[in-house]
Amino acid sequence: MRFVAKRLLLFIAALVGLSILVFLALRVLPGDVAAVMAGTNATAARIAALRTQMGLDRPLPVQYVDWLGGLLHGDLGISAISGRSVVSQVGARAAVTFPLIVLSLAIALLIGLPLGCAAVITRNRRWRGLFHVLAIVGGAIPALWSGLLLILLFSHGSGLLGLFPSQGFPNDGWKDCGRAMASLVLPALATGITAGAGIMRYTRAALGDAAQSQAVSMAMACGMTRRQALLRVGLRLSMPQLVSVIGLTFAQMITGVMVVENLFALPGLGSMLITDVGNRDLIAVQSELFLLAAFFLLLGLAVDMAHHALDPRLNTASDDVQEVL
Amino acid sequence: MTASHGAYGNADATTTATSNAASSNGAASTDESLNARVRTSKSPRPNKWGIIIAAVVAIAIIVGAVAIFNGRNAQQSANKADTVTIGLKLAPPSLDIRRQSGSAIEQVLIGNVYEGLVSRDSDNAVQPGLAKSWDISTDGTTYTFHLNRNMTFSNGDALDADDVAWSINQLKEKQYYNANQVESLSKAEALDANTVRITLSSPDSNLLWYLTGRPGLVFDKDATYNAKTQAVGSGPYTVESFDSASKMVLKANPKYWGTAHKPATQHVVIDFITDDNAAVNALKSGDVDVLSPVNATLAKSLDANTYHVSASDGSDKFVLAFNCANKKLADKRVRQAIRYGINHKEIIASRGGVDAALGGPIPSVDPGYEDLTGLYPYDVAKAKQLMREAGYSISKPLKLTLTYANTYGTELGDQLKSQLAAISIDLNINYVEFSTWLQDVHANGDYELSLVDHAESHDFYKWTTPEYYYHYDNKDVQALYAKALAANDEKESDEYLKQAAKTVSEDAPADWLFGYRVTVAYNKGVKGFPDKLSQTVLPLWQISKAE
């Protein structure tokens, strides 16, 4: 329990620090939303009037406290440009980005876990070498490049096999599930392959360590074959490590898919952030970044908890330490 | 990472074959508790390769099914005749036409959702709008507009002279977008329900044209709505949904008052497609019926039997402004040398050869246009001579910085850098975000050279406003422009404008790299899409599609 409480306190402290960091970092950018709104025909007086209307001429601490007060009430604010609430804006974009991340992760796991296990299980040197090469080559392919390759191979119009759309997301969103899914396949593959190679390497290393452990030897002594022992005992032993890696991969993908979103012209969180920063819609950007960062932290928290749940040794260890103290 | 890349586990690990034999024997150990943990393997495991092949086949089937499903859907959506889908490049950031800048808002909303006192046709000429006719007093300072009868807004409210006068007075009071264009306008008043009088402080021959844009729009005095996300206008269409990241859906306004502009199509969907390749793919696959604009080079790949492709003159001017307030550029010889040193033909050719050469501040669609490209022809020898006179040479080049927004691509900057290097100018490119450009160049006037696309029509006034970021201050030009505004006669006004434009061009406060010509492409089944000026005037009511 103490662990959970401590971890939660840390989480809240990190959030507050984060809000200050995000707020200040964005104020360094030149230009402001009033100038963008007023455009190239504007007079200086018009820009000044807009600044006053939007409260941009107030001192920074006042603006910060105002924003933080809103956050505490669960009010993330309203975009100065589009007039929509940040929550609805993020929600609409997350409906593209999150399915994309989940799909990418699923592909990564489908590639990484079996290949990683196979690399440990196999005793054939050639296979082992092949898996090694796969892991290195797969991990070295930038998602941008594999994305282009996938477009050349599988996209409607310009690809060899016109299977999937290469650009954009259906305008009715998820109403037409098939089309929406189809437009996510290529981008998910592009990120999934790279991430999958990473997961494969980690699986191989973790399972390789487990293979050396006494637990696996014991299982084999009890009559399991090597493969059974590795998959049933070894994999379970390496689970905590793998969960951490999967959590990290997920977190990396939040930013990682932005490049791919751009390549496939998907209206996801990445393009939203780029547009909003471009428009200097700082109220929206700071809330969006804050949400994303909070999600990062939450993910870290969840992984830590899962770690503890999966590996009882950690609990007893920390309890022991506490008892000594 | 572990060092062992050899066999994991024990070297004498049992092989699969022996383990199967062992487990089928039942007791591998004498220990009961361990025996309990030994699971007998079920039927012999299917071959590893069998599983992989099965997985590949399953994926292929799913992929195929999805592809067929989604191909069929695409065809279905494009075949509906009561919907025309138009692909545009730029999306309005919001619907707030009174506050938000950007030509996309005007393009989509004016004449379709909001209507003005007067309107503009595809030849850039003023036409009746909410007002069916108007009288101008002989001194040019009083305009009396006679409105159409029984007009309504899309919410059912009546539109009368009160709304018109209120809208125009609000524009002045709140200094809404482009209020500075109608500075001469002092007030609007409703004489009766169908007559509005506008009084000017000084005559302004541009007033009617400006009233066809944002300053002339009429809003519902009594309606309250979130202007960023909703629109209540009197036009033939209403906004059904809008997301600047993807699309806007317009629906025919059932309460539309007019008979002349009855919508030919019930639904118009406007897709915002930023990527040029994606846009062309969308047209080819039938996801959109029209593209405006389309990349000139990519448009060449469209089949001439299926698609209509055309390019036309517009008001876009790519202006390479020289900051006249800067010490280095205050020397007229330097500014002239730059103009002589730029090879416009080469720049235009590298962009697909569609754009028009432009020698001065007024584009061909505006009054006062004349071809000024002969003033500064490409002449490196002359440019070098001028630079020598100004005291620069290849060994002692003039260092200048060009600040421009990254929306225009790096090629333009690179071309200018290499062209100007030949006339001993060392050009440093400062490639910035558009909002940074707005702040540094436009708002603060802190720059040496700047490049931007001035898309607006009738914007010569920027050369007569020394506070504008051009910092161009020429009393002769200001006097000529004032005369042009005061002139009652159109020809006389044009003549003054021509003189003013020529003076500006000769002074070389900028170089006009080219006039961007918009290429549009549409499926030949589409009728009524304007070839000209569709970036600013897009009358959707006349667009229809054959079944």
- On chain A, the residues whose CB falls within 8 A of the CB of B22 are 223
User: Using CB atoms, which residue from A39, A47, A83 is nearest to B96?
Assistant: A83
Q: What is the pLDDT of residues B84-129, one digit of tens each?
A: 999 999 899 999 999 999 889 999 999 999 999 999 999 999 999 9
A267 and B246 within 8 Å at the Cβ level: the answer is: yes
A45 and B175 within 8 Å at the Cβ level: the answer is: yes
pLDDT (average), residues B516-528: 93
Place A152 in a pLDDT band, splitting at 50, 70 and 90.
Answer: confident
B439 and A30 within 8 Å at the Cβ level: the answer is: yes
Place B348 in a pLDDT band, splitting at 50, 70 and 90.
Answer: very high
Q: What is the pLDDT of residues A188-216, one digit of tens each?
A: 999 998 899 999 999 999 999 988 888 88
E strands within B108-182? 118-120, 126-128, 131-136, 142-147, 151-152, 158-159
Minimum CA–CA partner of A202 in chain B? B1
- On chain B, the residues whose CB falls within 8 A of the CB of A223 are 19, 22-23, 28-29, 34, 38
Residue B11's pLDDT is 43
Q: What is the pLDDT of residues A20-68, one digit of tens each?
A: 999 998 888 888 888 888 888 888 888 888 888 888 889 999 999 999 9
Specify the DSSP element, H or E, that contains B493.
Answer: helix B490-507
Residue B397's pLDDT is 93
In percent, the amount of chain B with pLDDT more than 90 equals 67
A40 and B452 within 8 Å at the Cβ level: the answer is: yes
Instruction: Tell me if chain A has a CB within 8 Å of the CB of B281.
Output: yes
Residue B55's pLDDT is 76
Question: Is A200 in contact with A194 (CB distance < 8 Å)?
Answer: no
- On chain B, the residues whose CB falls within 8 A of the CB of A208 are 2, 4, 8
A41 and B177 within 8 Å at the Cβ level: the answer is: yes
Q: Is the pLDDT of residue B218 over 60?
A: yes
User: Using CB atoms, which residue from A39, A163, A164 is nearest to B102?
Assistant: A39
Residue B37's pLDDT is 55
Residue B368's alpha-carbon distances to A68, B206, B211, B509, B514, in angstroms, are 55, 12, 19, 19, 17
Q: What is the pLDDT of residues B240-290, one digit of tens each?
A: 999 888 889 999 999 999 888 899 999 999 999 888 887 888 888 788 999
- On chain A, the residues whose CB falls within 8 A of the CB of B451 are none
Q: What is the pLDDT of residues A216-262, one digit of tens each?
A: 888 889 988 888 888 888 888 888 888 888 888 888 888 788 888 88
Residue A267's pLDDT is 85
User: Using CB atoms, which residue from B9, B16, B178 is nearest to A216?
Assistant: B9
Minimum CA–CA partner of A214 in chain B? B9
Closest Cα of chain A to B70: distance in Å? 5
- On chain A, the residues whose CB falls within 8 A of the CB of B4 are 208, 212
Can you say whether residue B286 is alpha, beta or left, with left for phi > 0 and alpha for psi between -120 and 50 degrees? left
Place B77 in a pLDDT band, splitting at 50, 70 and 90.
Answer: very low
Residues within 8 A of A (CB atoms), B 32-51 only: 34, 37-38
Distance in angstroms (rounded) separating the CA atoms of residues B502 and B371 = 9
Instruction: Tell me if chain A has a CB within 8 Å of the CB of B246.
Output: yes
Q: What is the mean pLDDT of chain A?
A: 85
Q: Is the pLDDT of residue A132 over 70?
A: yes
Place B35 in a pLDDT band, splitting at 50, 70 and 90.
Answer: low
How far separated are the first and last CA of chain B, in Å rounded?
Answer: 65
How far separated are the first and last CA of chain A, in Å rounded?
Answer: 16
Question: Is B39 in contact with A246 (CB distance < 8 Å)?
Answer: no
Residue B3's pLDDT is 43
- On chain B, the residues whose CB falls within 8 A of the CB of A81 are 93-94, 100, 228
Q: Is the dihedral of CA B95, B96, B98, B104 positive or negative?
A: negative
The structure tokens listed for B286 are 């039938």
Residue A283's pLDDT is 87
More confident residue, B147 or A181: B147
Q: What is the pLDDT of residues B376-423, one digit of tens each?
A: 999 999 999 999 999 999 899 999 999 999 888 899 999 999 999 999
Q: What is the pLDDT of residues A255-291, one digit of tens each?
A: 788 888 888 878 888 888 888 888 888 888 999 989 8
DSSP conformation letters of A89-116: HHHHHHHHHHHHHHHHHHHHHHHHHHHH
More confident residue, B212 or A46: B212
ipTM given for this complex: 0.77
Residue B45's pLDDT is 52
User: Using CB atoms, which residue from A39, A179, A226 is nearest to B9?
Assistant: A226
Residue B493's pLDDT is 93
B281 and A167 within 8 Å at the Cβ level: the answer is: yes
- On chain B, the residues whose CB falls within 8 A of the CB of A168 are 273, 278, 282
Residue A71's pLDDT is 87
Place B23 in a pLDDT band, splitting at 50, 70 and 90.
Answer: very low
Place B18 in a pLDDT band, splitting at 50, 70 and 90.
Answer: very low
